[in-house]
A and B are shown apart, each in its own frame.
Chain A
């Protein structure tokens, strides 16, 4: 039997997917802005955040109504509970995109890194790698949500350690750089900030993937609790 509740659930899912795609774009733009020193793009990311924030509130309100009025159970309940968390995770990812964009503006303001400097920076490759992997994790996490694909979700979880390692490596190298050259302190700190924000985005993508597994398999695998 088709329930009109199903229509409301798919509307909620569509709104979350819409929010996910805006957030994904913000992350992509902020990364592109970083790698290409594009301050215009960085400013656009900062402006887009209000869109993300108002979607978060809209989704929150929808969820409150669905919980209060429809008394969801089983897979409906799991979906709505996951939606609560995914909503707030996406909003946080949006904030991290803003932080990265802000760092791009800071770096530019002080002419701290010119395009050519990227090539000579010892951590340039690691930064590129962490942006690449994080972007991929976010995309996969969102796709796993779109299709409720637990296998794709599980593949996201496996990559998180790589991002943690890269982040640590970037921070260690930048600390070394600062010790050797005081003139590089400002930009090094800015890049540390970027790296930590990306590492958090990867964590949040992991959370989304875990929520998808919770929806699809009714299994809570947070903190390895299913092992």
Chain B
């Protein structure tokens, strides 16, 4: 058996938007240096679950959460948790790439700079390393002062990944990171995930089941706020244990 360590663990996690019980009693563990995919039909709670892993739901009014989410054995919903620190450690990539209206360089240097790094030589190093890791360096190294918004959609998304990596996170949450991209950019992002998991723990929400199959090591299937099945991706896509999972991944749903 491969050695695995737990990075994130949720226990009886419930989340309510007002009266609506959006995620129900979710207990699962996410392993370090793996890609974990969350799949399920729209409204199943997978994005809500993802956002609860760096307390992005805190920003929404009327949200109530019970249960625990621990990252490296620390409950991130504890009173004394610094949410800014948490989000540094647990970065997020969204469906729609959202670079700042600044240069490529400034997009990546922004986070480290507000964290107090001032020396240009250090910033240069972080920018180059992050862009390398995001597989964007070779394409932009000669035009770092061009606006981030001038890049193609796929490049913008990789710029956002570089920006997230620049603050040295442990975990990357990705919410449909490739759904607005063409197939070649999608493949680049998928290959990137494969490389990044050597150093980071990745959790990805995707509507694209084939993508979940291709990129992830573990897959969780959500339906109507419940976790129906969670297993190695190989198992989920070759011999799922629950009929609901089978019906969903084979497209027989409903």
Q: Which residues of A contact B (CB under 8 A)?
A: 1-5, 64-65, 68-71
Contacts of A71 in B (CB 8 A): 210, 213-214
B234 to chain A, nearest CB (A): 5
Known: A68-B213, A70-B214, A71-B213. A4 touches B234 (CB 8 A): no
Contact among A3, A5, A68 for B234, CB-based, below 8 A: A68
Which residue of the partner chain B has the closest CB to A69? B213
A sample of 15 inter-chain contacts (CB < 8 A) reads A1-B184, A1-B187, A1-B188, A1-B191, A3-B187, A4-B194, A65-B234, A65-B238, A68-B234, A68-B238, A69-B213, A69-B214, A69-B233, A69-B234, A70-B214
User: CA separation between A69 and B213, bound complex, in Å?
Assistant: 5
Q: Are B191 and A3 in contact (CB under 8 A)?
A: yes
- The A-B contact count (CB < 8 A) is 27
Contacts of B110 in A (CB 8 A): none
| Top-6 shortest CB links A-B | A69-B213, A68-B237, A4-B194, A68-B238, A71-B210, A65-B234
User: CA separation between A191 and B237, bound complex, in Å?
Assistant: 48
A131 to chain B, nearest CB (A): 41
Which residue of the partner chain B has the closest CB to A4? B194
B237 to chain A, nearest CB (A): 4
User: CA separation between A3 and B238, bound complex, in Å?
Assistant: 22
Which residue of the partner chain B has the closest CB to A70? B214
Which residue of the partner chain A has the closest CB to B233? A69
User: CA separation between A38 and B210, bound complex, in Å?
Assistant: 54
B139 to chain A, nearest CB (A): 12
Q: Are A70 and B191 in contact (CB under 8 A)?
A: no
